Amino acid sequence: MKNVLPTKILIWSSLLLAITTWNSDAGRAANADGKSDNQLYEVRTYLLGEDGDEESLDQYLQHALLPALKRQNIGPIGVFAPAENDTNQRPAVIVVVPFDNVQAMTSTRWNLQRDPQYLADADSYLEAGTKKPPYARITSELLVAMDCMPKLQIAADALKNPNRVYELRLYESANERLGDLKVDMFNNGEVPIFLDSGISPVFIGQAIIGPQTPNLTYLTVYPNDEARMKAWDAFRSHPDWQVLKEVAKYKGTVSKIDKHVLKAKPFSQM
């Protein structure tokens, strides 16, 4: 009888190989052991649909998933909903999960399935079945942090501000070459202009798996919505941006921009 590896192991092995190859090809920063210092991010979107139960989902996230991930030393976790002025008209809850390495990411679900406290806390959510599902579908993308911001950053005073506003942006590119050039643009000049304009990044990552690749995705935070709009006005008129955007190799690197204006859930750790 043949000794066949379980499908799950094959999938994760393929994923590990893809990430390792991506890191090598992109020339990621590495430590003495050859491991990338750049974090990984899962941006998970719970699409609520017409019959979703956001309250039930919030209870699960706050009292089951986030505490369980904390026991695995995973965090901080961001949990967001569309702000009132978001124009996407898509009921959803967006969860951002950072991982320090591939091993932490690939072992997370395995550990959840073997965590009795999580299984007890999540019982009503997991047993809802088809009668009253809390969401319609989940979509996810997996990002590798870019060299301009290899780890997420959260200012302590930002979490104390109940009026803070977030913006999640996704930049699509027409092909992989153009996508890599947009990453190069971020890594070599765009982020300092952000900071000088009042745009505060939380994380910046290039997608290696997701429904809109090739793309990069980043999250920024502002004291309030007025500050958000002023910051982007300042960015668009910044003299360094006027120079950078005219660099020939960077022209046409973005084919589509998705923008989501978000507010943090009360229990969000971002």
pLDDT at 30 over 80: no
In this prediction the pTM is 0.88
pLDDT at 9 over 50: no
CATH of the domain at 14: 3.30.70.100
At residue 260 the predicted structure's pLDDT band, cuts being 50, 70 and 90, is: very high
Question: From residue 163, how far is each of 86, 179, 219, 224 by CA, in Å?
Answer: 15, 34, 16, 5
Give the Cα separation of 128 and 249 in Å (integer): 52
Backbone φ and ψ for 84, nearest 5 degrees, come out as: -60, -30
Question: Each residue of 26-59: b (16+ CB within 10 Å) or e?
Answer: bebeeeeeeebebbbbbbbbbebeeebbbebbbb
Range(s) of the domain holding residue 195? 7-22+35-264
Question: From residue 73, how far is each of 70, 100, 124, 150 by CA, in Å?
Answer: 5, 10, 25, 18
Say how many C-beta atoms besides its own lie within 10 A of residue 23's C-beta.
Answer: 19
Is residue 222 within 8 A of residue 83, CB to CB? The reply is no
Question: Each residue of 137-175: b (16+ CB within 10 Å) or e?
Answer: eeeebbbbbbbbbbebeeeeebeeeeebbbbbebbbbee
Our count of domains for the chain comes to: 1
270 part of a folded domain: no
Across the range 54-63, mean pLDDT stands at 98
Res 1: pLDDT = 42
30 part of a folded domain: no
166 part of a folded domain: yes
Most distant pair of Cα atoms in the chain: their distance: 69
Res 265: pLDDT = 98
Across the range 138-161, mean pLDDT stands at 95
pLDDT at 13 over 60: no
239 part of a folded domain: yes
28 part of a folded domain: no
| Runs of H (alpha helix) within the chain | 7-26, 54-60, 66-71, 102-113, 116-121, 123-126, 156-159, 176-185, 191-197, 225-237, 239-244
1 part of a folded domain: no
29 part of a folded domain: no
Nearest Cα to 253, choosing from 183, 186, 178, 190? 178
173 part of a folded domain: yes
pLDDT at 15 over 80: no
Residue with tokens 């798996």: 209
Across the range 212-236, mean pLDDT stands at 98
Is residue 267 within 8 A of residue 76, CB to CB? The reply is no
pLDDT at 26 over 70: no
Give the Cα separation of 218 and 201 in Å (integer): 7
